[in-house]
Amino acid sequence: MPLLRSERWASEAWYSGPEYDVNAAYDDLYSYRPLILFTDLVYVLFVWKIAPRARGIKLDPKLLKDVSIVWNCFNAITSIYMFVLLVPELKMALGNGWYYTTCRVGTFYTGQSSGHAMYLFCLSKLWELGDTVLLVARGRKLMFLHYFHHSVVVIQVMFTYYGAGSMARLGTDMNAFVHSLMYSYFALVNVFPQIRKYAPIITVLQLSQFVVACVGMLSLCGYVLSGYDCETSKTILPIHFFIYVMFFLLFMKFFMDNYVNNKDGRKNGTRKVE
C-alpha cells in the first residue's frame, strides 16, 4: 500500500531541506505488519504457555547477568541515539508554539534526523519484546503490566506510523527520553546493586511520559473542537488516548502497590518494571 504524495500532511510542504524518505519507510513498515501480528501472537503464547514452565530451568547466573548488561546497554544506546535525533525537531516545534507542537506535523516524519529516529523507534518496539525473554531466563515472574505494555505498543506504533500525524510527536519524544534513562538504570543496577533504591524514580518517569502524551492529545482534541486544523487521524486519536490512559492507570497501580503501600518496596526499592 504505497503512501501517495496527495496523502501527505499539508504542513510538510513548506520544508525545502533534505528529506527523509517517509514513503519508503511507510511501505517498509507496512510490509512488516503480517510479521508483527505473527510475532505478537507468538509472544503472547510464550508468556502464557512457555514462560511459566521455563522459569524452573536453571541457567548460569553470571552469564545471564552479562547478557542483561549487554542487552540493556544496547537499548540504552539506541534510545539515546533516537532522542538526540528527535531533540532538534522538538525544539523547533515548541518554538512555534503549543498549537504547532500538538497539531502540525511539520518535519517530524520528513526531517532527515527525526524521520530516521521515528522509523527506528517503530522497529525498536519489536526487538524490545526480548526484555520478556531475558526476564524469564532470569527466573522472574512476569507481571500483566509488563507483557500487556510490550504486546500493545508494538502493534500501536507499527499500525499507526505516519497516520497518527502530529499526536505521535510528544509520546515518541518522551518515550525515547525515558527509555534512555530506564535502560541505563537496568544496565547499571547489574553492576551497582545499591542503586536499586532509585527504582521509584524510573516508575515516576514512566508515568510522566503518559501524562505528557495525554495532555498533548487533550490539547489536540480541544483545538479540533474549536475548529482548528490539526494534522492527525480522528480515528487513531481516541485509540491512542485510551491506550495511554490504560498504561498510566496500570503503572500508577504498580507504583502505589510497590512504593507507597508496600513498606519493603518503599524501603529497598527492589521492585521495578522492566
Nearest Cα to Cα of residue 45 among 128, 133, 113: 133
Domain contains 9: no
Active site (annotated) includes residue 149: yes
**The whole model's pTM is what?**
0.89
Instruction: Name the domain count of the chain.
Output: 1
Domain contains 226: yes
Q: How far apart, in whole angstroms, are the C-alpha atoms of residue 273 and residue 255?
A: 10
Domain contains 7: no
Q: What is the pLDDT of residues 27-85, one digit of tens each?
A: 999 999 999 999 999 999 999 999 888 877 778 889 999 999 999 999 999 999 999 99
Domain contains 28: yes
Range of the domain at 134: 18-268
Least confident of 1-15, 86-100, 182-196, 221-235: 1-15
Domain contains 11: no
Domain contains 63: yes
Is the model more confident about 53 or about 160? 160
Q: What is the pLDDT of residues 113-132, one digit of tens each?
A: 999 999 999 999 999 999 99
| Residue 152: how many other CB atoms lie within 10 Å | 15
The yes-or-no verdict on residue 207 having pLDDT over 80 is: yes
For the chain, the C-alpha Rg in angstroms (whole number) is: 19
The yes-or-no verdict on residue 270 having pLDDT over 90 is: no
The yes-or-no verdict on residue 12 having pLDDT over 50 is: yes
Domain contains 79: yes
Which amino acid is located at 222 in the chain? G
Q: What is the DSSP string of 38-59?
A: HHHHHHHHIIIIIHHHHTT---
Q: What confidence score (pLDDT) does residue 35 get?
A: 94
Annotated catalytic residue within 146, 149, 150, 240: 149
Domain contains 3: no
Q: What is the average pLDDT score of the chain? A: 89
Q: What confidence score (pLDDT) does residue 2 get?
A: 40
Residue 51: C-alpha distances to residues 14, 63, 251 (Å) = 51, 19, 22
The yes-or-no verdict on residue 14 having pLDDT over 60 is: no
Q: What confidence score (pLDDT) does residue 25 get?
A: 94
Residue 270: C-alpha distances to residues 52, 138, 169, 199, 263 (Å) = 22, 15, 33, 7, 11
